[in-house]
Structures are given as structure tokens and as C-alpha cells.
Chains A and B, each alone.
Chain A
């Protein structure tokens, strides 16, 4: 199985900050990387798939980049509703595998 290593595991930031989360794959996954947002007690919500394609309705402050084995999620200006846990997912090969998550907290 492809291992996904996400960093940092948590971060503290303020409203309006720009933040970046990184995900590394144990092998080349081309561009088949997605990002999800999860709030307590809720299912994960798709933000991005295929490295940089925004899911319908996702605000433009979210963006993704990368290729091969290294990928990033950037939130350009953190909003109150963005405080949550974020997960990466490789969808290059089965079984699809997730990172362990990055918890974004209010500073």
C-alpha cells in the first residue's frame, strides 16, 4: 500500500493567515492527490482532487499543488469556518490511503 505522510500534525494560526499543509507519498502517485476537511462529528468533505481541482462550491482561498510524491494544500486567508482537521488522500491506486491529518487550531 502507498503510505501518505502529512505534516505538520497540528498548527495554530490566526484569522487571515496563509497556511500550508504538506503531504508526501511513499511512491510516485502522479497527480492523484486529494484534500479533505473534517469537523468534529462530521464526515470528511472533499475540497480538492487531482492535486489542484476544486470540488464544486469550495472557496477559492483553498488551493492545491504538487506532483510525483510531494503535495501541498494552501489556504490563502484563514477564515473562522476553516478551523478543522485536514486529510490528504492518494487516489492513484487501490487501496486508496489517507494521511493522518493536520489539525488547524485558532492561535
Chain B
């Protein structure tokens, strides 16, 4: 059974960087049959996929166009986890952030518990 556990601050100041980590248990982040995504949820935008990282002989990343200029998702194989960094945040980035696994089917089968992030001074 795969489990994902998120950590990171719940309050970020405007213009600063949002950083979250997702620790994986029950599977290796480098497995070549899954991808690891970040998704956020807000009343205004609903559920929004932000990006993913995955390993297929080398590491790849894909990002949503809406955040492409501000986002980085990185794997950490030594700790079996992956992280999200979102730079230059504004109040519109306030949301609940989830990490999730994508199996071969391409949907999301296992999710982290969610982190409410508020962007405010």
C-alpha cells in the first residue's frame, strides 16, 4: 500500500516561495511505471493539476501552463520523496495542496493528506 505524507508551512508571504514536500512509503520514487504530481484545490479554481515528475531511464517533469514560469517539482531519491516549489506567490495561490501518485492509467490513485497554504502578509 502506497502512502504519501506531506509537510511544509501553511502560511507564506506574498512574493515569497511556497515549498512543500511529499514523503513516499510503500513505493520507490524512481519506479518507472508511475508519476508523482502536485494538485491544488481552491473555491475559485477547483481541483487543478500543477505538475509532475517521473523516471523513465532519466527524470522528466511536466508543468501546467498556468504556473509553468514559477514552478519546480524535484525528486529526492535519497529520501524517497518529491517536492514542490512555487515562486512569487500571490493571494490567488492560496489553496489546499495535494501530492498524488499516477499509475500507468494516468489518473491519481493515492493522495497525500493535503496542506492548506495561505498567502498573506
A55 to B2 Cα, complex, angstroms: 14
Shortest distance between the CB of A64 and any CB in chain B (Å)? 12
Candidates B47, B62, B65, B106; contact of A91 at CB < 8 Å = B106
Q: Is B114 an interface residue (CB 8 A)?
A: yes
B98 within 8 Å of A (CB atoms): yes
Question: Considering the complex, which residues of chain B in the window 30-49 have a beta carbon less than 8 Å from any beta carbon of chain A?
Answer: 46-49
List of B residues within 8 angstroms of A100 by Cβ:
46
**Residue pair B46, A98 in contact (C-beta under 8 Å):** yes
The count of chain B contact residues (Cβ–Cβ below 8 Å) is: 20
Contact of A46 with B47 at beta-carbon distance under 8 Å, contacts A94-B62, A95-B64 already known:
no
Q: Which residues of chain B have C-beta atoms less than 8 A from A94's C-beta? A: 62
CA of A85 to CA of B86, assembled, Å: 28
CA distance A98 to B109 in the complex (A): 14
CB proximity of B67 to chain A, nearest CB, Å: 11
B68 → chain A closest CB, angstroms:
11
Majority DSSP secondary structure for residues of A touching B: loop
Assess whether B112 is interfacial by the CB under 8 Å rule: yes
Interface residues on chain A, size class: 20 to 34
Known: A42-B114, A43-B98, A43-B114. A96 touches B107 (CB 8 A): yes
Q: Does A21 contact B (CB under 8 A)?
A: no
CA distance in complex: A57, B47 (Å): 24
20 A-B contact pairs sorted by A residue (CB < 8 Å): A32-B105, A34-B107, A36-B108, A43-B100, A43-B111, A43-B114, A44-B47, A44-B111, A45-B111, A46-B108, A49-B107, A49-B109, A87-B47, A95-B64, A96-B49, A96-B108, A98-B46, A99-B46, A100-B46, A101-B46
Taking A36-B108, A87-B47 as given, write out 16 further A-B residue pairs in contact, using a Cβ cutoff of 8 Å, ordered by the A residue number: A32-B107, A34-B107, A34-B108, A42-B114, A43-B111, A43-B114, A44-B47, A44-B98, A45-B111, A49-B107, A49-B109, A91-B107, A95-B65, A96-B107, A98-B46, A101-B46
